Amino acid sequence: MTPGSATPMTPMSAPSYGQGSAEPTVLAVEALAVRYGDMEVCSDVSLSVRRGEALALIGESGSGKSVTVLAVTGLLGRGGAISRGSVVLDGEEITRLSEKERRRRGLFGRRIGVIFQNPSRALDPVFTVGQQLNEALSLTGLNGREALRSKAAEWLRHVGLPDPEEALDRYPHQLSGGQRQRAMIAIALASEPELLIADEPTTALDVTIQAQVLNLIRRLQRELNLALIIVTHDFGVVAAMADRVSVMYAGEVVETGSVTEIIRDPRHPYTRALLGSLPTGQPGARIEALPGSVPSAGTMPTGCRFHPRCPAAVAECAGEEPRLEPASYGRVLRCLRAEELAAYDA
Amino acid sequence: MTPESALPDGALFSLRDVSVRYPIRRGFFQRVVGHVGAVEQVSFDLMRGETLALVGESGCGKSTLGRAMLRLEDVSEGTITANGGMSRREIARRVQVVFQDPLGSLDPRWRIGDLIGEGLDVHGIVRGAARNDRVRELLSQVELPASAFYKFPHQLSGGQQQRVAIARALAMRPELIVLDEATSALDVSVQAQILNLLKDLQAEYNLTYLFISHDLTVVGQFADRVAVMYLGRIMETGSTTEVLASPRHPYTRALLASSLKVDPDARIETIPLLTGDVPSPRNPPSGCRFRTRCPLAQPDCASLDHRMVMAGSRQTAACRANNEH
């Protein structure tokens, strides 16, 4: 069912991510650009995730992180199209497949599982949880009423829903927010995907429930050795969940590194500013607020997209577009002054 | 009826055993068959110039309590005493609110200038050219360009819309502003700008804030005092530094432990988990309301009466695990 899963990925050209892990790359996105009509909403996104690894994609609203997810899953919708770059899943080029072809290759729900932010919108209100789980289970080739029902109940038990047998016959509105998110996780994983994408999975939940759900996602990811992409705007979620982090700004990835590197030693001025603008919890202290806001697709600045807000910008930042490339100290980032700023820090 | 007690020194509002209950109606005649206690027996004093944070999970009653302060909800039991007039018209001027979703609270067909000036017009505070001057002054106080005057809400970014909501509140020269999750929907860099702006305005006008939030890091930075709520009751209240650095009630401890830290060593596997969901306020547990999820619960917690225990400068709900009865 998964041709090419054994074939090693073609080595990625310039930026080498990873840290020498032997696990195969499940998803590689290279220089991806997405357009809606004549608006380019995503311009240069490169990221990769290996089996068993959790990659966090962090950015503010308008950074293009959700569009990247839609492009990977083929859910861009009317008017949206990938205009440049490539998406490779398990060594298979899936950038420009028709909807029919995507369905045939199991790219809708079967090989890529998705958990959305709002479980009440992602679940169908007129079908029971059991019926929606069966749909996912039947994608794996499982048949027969009894087999489906016991497997579905097993999944609900696995995600920690109380009374799984009873929950199968419940409609989404009969569950609490946290339970709905658990049900959605069960549905996303029931088709045994290779890649799980969680798009702001806990933004709508309370902190105690958020901890439960994130713990569950991490546990299942470990058990099933899944590649996980977690899309978020919350550095707390990144610190708790990610092995590696890609930071996005205005439709581009601006820095990629391990979770410790990004949080303890951010190098791109945007990553630094973003971390600097977090409340520290120190009473009365002023926060270093980053001035301005993320530019919209229609009004992108020339040169480096961050230069109008960047405290380290110089004249040439307005003219030349930096590329995402490894600096001498090993970090992959998009900044003309990467070397200069590192020398200044030292 | 509780007799109205005199306000403590420096207090702007004083709440004594305040409960807000909603009727549950059933059947064809919408008969009242019970009540949901959204807020139960809450007491605190709100001091002039301070920021008091109300924190808790959804459904804990923090927003209802904020609405009660605004007199948008009727108090079923207990008293809210104010320093000064308490008539509906007085309160409408003295207490203002900023909600979470700025676009939802600004009429899309109104221009920014009229949105900010609405309160001035309604209360007849200033008219004509003076009114427009006052609106422009407010725009500059919230650091918006004067050109925003003739724009519509959708033409502004989320952070700018929230600034308009703040200017609207400021226009009435209020004493208290209820900030109901006012920065929760904003991106972190914009949230930082708004928090700094609110701090500056507070220092300049000696404003009092009731800061309703679920984000403990923001609260730690922004608030002077904090009240932690669970299922309509206050579980712990005291100075922010004290409560957040050394939480005393098991619920406060659990809430703090569950909130994620920006520290790569604080992995999700290391976070202690609370089991289950918040119970429905229609049918709250007897005794201590936290006992169904409390890791330290004992059988006799079911018979524990809610009352606040003084512990140093803070108050904590009585707890068997803290040897209180």
Q: Longest Cα pair distance anywhere in chain B, in angstroms?
A: 68
Q: Please report, for the domain that includes residue B219, its CATH number.
A: 3.40.50.300
Cα nearest neighbour of A287 on chain B: B192
Question: Which amino acid, residue B67?
Answer: R
Residue B26 falls inside a structural domain: yes
Per-residue model confidence (pLDDT) at position B279: 86
Q: Tell me which of B210 and B189 has the higher pLDDT.
A: B210
B192 touches chain A (CB under 8 A): yes
Per-residue model confidence (pLDDT) at position A20: 54
Instruction: For B144-159, write each residue's pLDDT tens digit.
Output: 999 999 999 999 988 9
Q: Cα–Cα–Cα angle for A50, A54, A60, nearest 5°? A: 120
Query: A-chain residues within 8 Å CB-CB of B218?
Result: 279
The CATH code for residues A25-249 is 3.40.50.300
Query: A-chain residues within 8 Å CB-CB of B267?
Result: 239-241
Contact check, Cβ <8 Å, A293/B266: no
**Residue A239: which of B214, B220, B264 has the nearest Cβ?**
B264
B92 touches chain A (CB under 8 A): no
**Domain definitions of chain A by residue range:** 25-249
Cα nearest neighbour of A210 on chain B: B258
Please give the mean pLDDT across all residues of chain B. Answer: 91
Per-residue model confidence (pLDDT) at position B271: 92
Contact check, Cβ <8 Å, A283/B224: yes
Q: Which residue shows structure tokens 């990144």?
A: A238
Per-residue model confidence (pLDDT) at position B303: 93
Whether residue A5 has pLDDT greater than 50: no
Q: Render B132-154 in DSSP notation, one character per residue.
A: HHHHHHHHHHTT--GGGGG--GG
Structure-block tokens of residue A154? 């097993």
CA distance B93 to B204: 19
Between positions 242 and 301 of A, the ones with CB within 8 A of B are: 259-260, 263-264, 273-275, 277-291, 293-294
Mean pLDDT (whole number) for A85-107: 91
pLDDT confidence tier of residue A16, bands split at 50, 70 and 90: very low
Percent of chain B with pLDDT over 90: 73
CA distance A23 to A320: 37
CA distance B112 to B295: 50
Kindly give the pairing relationship between strand A92-93 and strand A80-89. Answer: antiparallel
Contact B198/B211 with Cβ under 8 angstroms? no
Half-sphere exposure of A142 (CA within 13 A, CB side): 20
B263 touches chain A (CB under 8 A): yes
B283 touches chain A (CB under 8 A): no
Write the CA distances from A228 to A60, A182, B136, B262, integer angstroms. 20, 16, 50, 20
Contact check, Cβ <8 Å, B220/A281: yes
* Distance in Å, alpha carbon of A113 to nearest chain B alpha carbon: 21
Instruction: For A152-186, write each residue's pLDDT tens digit.
Output: 999 998 888 888 898 999 999 998 888 898 999 99
Query: A-chain residues within 8 Å CB-CB of B203?
Result: none
Q: How many CB atoms lie within 10 A of CB A51?
A: 20
Query: B-chain residues within 8 Å CB-CB of A240?
Result: 260, 266-268, 271
Q: How many CB atoms lie within 10 A of CB A208?
A: 22
CA distance A82 to A64: 13
B203 touches chain A (CB under 8 A): no
CA distance B145 to B132: 14
Instruction: For B63-95, write each residue's pLDDT tens digit.
Output: 999 999 999 999 999 999 988 777 888 888 899
* Distance in Å, alpha carbon of B248 to nearest chain A alpha carbon: 18
CA distance A175 to A173: 5
Mean pLDDT (whole number) for A300-317: 94
B130 touches chain A (CB under 8 A): no
**Residue A207: which of B192, B259, B269 has the nearest Cβ?**
B259
B268 touches chain A (CB under 8 A): yes
B188 touches chain A (CB under 8 A): yes
Contact check, Cβ <8 Å, B189/A240: no
Please give the mean pLDDT across all residues of chain A. Answer: 88
Q: Tell me which of B321 and B281 has the higher pLDDT.
A: B321
CA distance A318 to B97: 41
Mean pLDDT (whole number) for B49-75: 92
The answer for residues whose C-beta is within 8 angstroms of residue A79's C-beta and 6 or more apart is A36, A37
Write the CA distances from B282 to B42, B91, B232, integer angstroms. 18, 30, 11
CA distance B71 to A262: 47
Residue B103 falls inside a structural domain: yes
Instruction: For A243-278, write each residue's pLDDT tens digit.
Output: 999 999 999 999 999 999 999 999 999 999 999 999
Residue B3 falls inside a structural domain: no
Residue B304 falls inside a structural domain: yes
Mean pLDDT (whole number) for A226-245: 96
B264 touches chain A (CB under 8 A): yes
Per-residue model confidence (pLDDT) at position B187: 87
Per-residue model confidence (pLDDT) at position A12: 40
Counting one residue from chain A and one from chain B, the pairs whose CB atoms sit within 8 A come to 140
Cα nearest neighbour of A295 on chain B: B157
Cα nearest neighbour of A175 on chain B: B277
* Distance in Å, alpha carbon of B287 to nearest chain A alpha carbon: 22
Write the CA distances from A222 to A28, A190, A228, A239, A258, integer angstroms. 20, 15, 10, 17, 18
Range of the domain at B81: 11-322
* Closest to A133 (Cα-Cα) out of A156, A146, A152, A109: A152
Per-residue model confidence (pLDDT) at position B2: 39
Q: Cα–Cα–Cα angle for B254, B18, B235, nearest 5°? A: 15
* Distance in Å, alpha carbon of B119 to nearest chain A alpha carbon: 29
Per-residue model confidence (pLDDT) at position A11: 40
* Closest to A31 (Cα-Cα) out of A53, A15, A8: A15
Contact A227/A17 with Cβ under 8 angstroms? no
Write the CA distances from A250 to A42, A127, A154, B46, B102, integer angstroms. 7, 38, 42, 43, 23
Q: Tell me which of A121 and B121 has the higher pLDDT.
A: B121
**Residue B221: which of A207, A274, A285 has the nearest Cβ?**
A285
* Distance in Å, alpha carbon of B100 to nearest chain A alpha carbon: 14
Per-residue model confidence (pLDDT) at position B5: 53
Between positions 31 and 60 of A, the ones with CB within 8 A of B are: 60
Contact A197/A73 with Cβ under 8 angstroms? yes
Provide the domain count of chain B. 1
Mean pLDDT (whole number) for B43-60: 93
**Residue A289: which of B193, B220, B277 has the nearest Cβ?**
B193
Range A232-265 burial, b when 16+ CB lie within 10 A, else e: bbbbbbbbbbbbbbbbbbbbbbbbbbbbebbbee
CA distance B318 to B304: 8
The answer for residues whose C-beta is within 8 angstroms of residue A48's C-beta and 6 or more apart is A12, A17, A18, A25, A27, A28, A29, A55
Kindly give the pairing relationship between strand A244-249 and strand A80-89. Answer: unpaired
Whether residue A10 has pLDDT greater than 50: no
* Distance in Å, alpha carbon of A257 to nearest chain B alpha carbon: 13
Contact check, Cβ <8 Å, A206/B58: yes
Per-residue model confidence (pLDDT) at position A21: 63
